[in-house]
Amino acid sequence: MDTYNDNWCSCLLFRNKQLTKELKRFEDFSTLSGSSSRMLALSQLLKLHLTPAYGIIRNEYEWQNLFAVIDLLYGDDWLPADLEITHLSLQELKLCYLVRARLTNKAISLLFNITPKSVLKAKQRIKMKLSLSGTDSFDEYIQRH
């Protein structure tokens, strides 16, 4: 009987932690809905996933808001330490964020008004900066951190 109670308590504690995390995310989204610029960034991210096009994000202010939304949705502790110490250009950082948001090469190419092959080349350059091997997937590396 004691083991049953211990297991039950463990299950309840685990579920409590899960629900607390969900509540925190809900509070973050509630905060997000109060900001028109964050709502715009959220809608821009949705457009990038559904119908990517050049000019969806028009200026650096909108990029910063998009970064904040991606951090909110995909976790804000994602930036690996080696990305922080590797001095990435702003364009490379944008690419990393878009990969983090799981956008395809085609969607990224449309947004930047470049070819998908150019997106692949940019990813290869960042991989070299990070000293990743040729067999490492850049997208998986960015998305798992």
Q: Which residue has the higher pLDDT, 38 or 127?
A: 127
User: Please, are residues 73 and 86 in contact by the beta-carbon 8 Å criterion?
Assistant: no
In percent, how much of the chain has pLDDT > 70?
Answer: 82
User: Please, are residues 45 and 101 in contact by the beta-carbon 8 Å criterion?
Assistant: yes
Token pair of 48 as six digits:
């990038």
pTM for this predicted structure:
0.73
- Domain spans of the chain, in order of start: 1-29, 35-144
Examine the pLDDT at 57 and tell me if it is beyond 90.
yes
Q: What is the pLDDT of residue 101?
A: 95
The model's pLDDT over 4-54, given as tens digits with 9 standing for 90+, comes to 677 777 777 777 777 777 667 666 655 555 578 888 898 999 999 999 999
Q: What is the pLDDT of residue 125?
A: 94
